[in-house]
Chain A
């Protein structure tokens, strides 16, 4: 069941399109978005959370949120007999409450937050800030900007559409999980491509660490 994978062995492209089969040998399974794989593995490593096993769904589901509840349900049903507990490392992620309904019905716990931007930043504080004109990137999304933002929105083919999508935004906020100057520069470049101001916010892993510490 387990694979002796290290974060360096995992590629962003595979996390985006395939997800991750499973890493670890713990009896609590974390079903996560592929965009959180590196962060979760780092938290497991730093905190000795050896009771956890991680499996990830393709991160590209981020772009089709309606598909997330069914994908999570299928994963829970596939794995539930093999583990004592299951944690779902997703926020609502644009499912309009549907993922919460699925998790409640299946008796599994998800992260009580609108999306990963919020739980990295701290959900209460994120919502209180009310940054309605901000567009957010995480480490993963900064690295995968072209695959998650630029190309799906057709900006590679039709750059003139940019202001239709982003004309009401003012700032790109990069919520950084790691301290990586090269990635900061990448995020700055993303802001420039979208015609937005740039703001860097070092969040670390935010509420993700506490969520994974449950069932310890």
Chain B
């Protein structure tokens, strides 16, 4: 996206130009530049939450849109995600200190028998960027890991990911176990992964199937809003 030369000095840009440049650098997967720009904005007195939402999250939304439209592909999205992760690593402790708004709490993980975590990691990062507190269980998780974490940590959302046709049915095991415990309605259950579709999500009793990370964020926000309205 960016056609800027290597001689661009980020600290010489004004705030608006710098934010614009950050979105370009995020798109191009330039982690070092993102980390430097985050540092510059912090020095200029920007609130961490504003840096997150007005540069990194907006930039990743463009990346997500172009991925969905077939302009960007998985490797470029991962490079952008690496760059965002670099910026997030600086901002995360500061967000806690400065009391950024909390959207809700989610436990997320790849299901038992499955070790694929790229999509899950992207969702976790974008959810975090949107203000959700994330407990990431990693890969190969049995039902009790999701459920015990959701109960013990007071989560609002359970997120499950699978890449394999052979592992995606395990999501139903988790949901059925929640039902048996009489706890299904206590949680919003979101599912995602390459071989899944909306029909599968409905069939296993999930609240929603999320086609990509951006949709997961919007779906989670929408469910949380409904939950608040019901309360």
A residues engaging B (CB < 8 A)?
65, 92, 94-98, 114-115, 127, 130, 132-133, 152-155, 157-158, 161, 164-165, 168-169
8 tightest Cβ-Cβ pairs between the two chains A and B? A154-B75, A96-B195, A168-B115, A92-B165, A114-B166, A94-B195, A114-B165, A132-B115
| B140 near A132: Cβ-Cβ < 8 Å | yes
A153 with B115, Cβ < 8 A, contacts A95-B195, A97-B165 known: no
- Bound form: Cα–Cα A94–B76 in Å: 23
A158 with B79, Cβ < 8 A, contacts A65-B195, A97-B165, A97-B200 known: yes
Residues from chain A with a CB closer than 8 A to the CB of B165 are 92, 94-97, 114-115
Residues from chain B with a CB closer than 8 A to the CB of A98 are 197
| B194 near A153: Cβ-Cβ < 8 Å | no
Total A-B pairs, Cβ < 8 A: 59
A153 with B74, Cβ < 8 A, contacts A94-B195, A97-B165 known: yes
| A96 near B168: Cβ-Cβ < 8 Å | yes
Q: Does B114 contact A (CB under 8 A)?
A: yes
The number of chain B residues touching the other chain, given as a range, is: 20 to 34
Residues from chain A with a CB closer than 8 A to the CB of B78 are 154, 158, 161, 164
A selection of 24 A-B contacts at a CB cut-off of 8 Å is A65-B194, A92-B165, A94-B164, A96-B194, A97-B165, A114-B165, A115-B165, A127-B166, A132-B113, A132-B140, A152-B73, A153-B74, A154-B73, A154-B74, A154-B75, A154-B78, A154-B79, A158-B29, A158-B78, A161-B75, A161-B79, A164-B78, A168-B117, A168-B139
Q: Does B221 contact A (CB under 8 A)?
A: no
Chain A residue with the shortest CB-CB distance to B81: A164
Residues from chain A with a CB closer than 8 A to the CB of B166 are 114, 127
Residues from chain B with a CB closer than 8 A to the CB of A114 are 164-166
Residues from chain B with a CB closer than 8 A to the CB of A133 are 115
Q: Does B116 contact A (CB under 8 A)?
A: yes
- Bound form: Cα–Cα A115–B164 in Å: 10
Chain B residues numbered 69-124 whose CB sits less than 8 Å from any CB in chain A: 73-76, 78-79, 82, 113-118
- Bound form: Cα–Cα A111–B82 in Å: 39
Q: Does B130 contact A (CB under 8 A)?
A: no
Residues from chain B with a CB closer than 8 A to the CB of A155 are 75
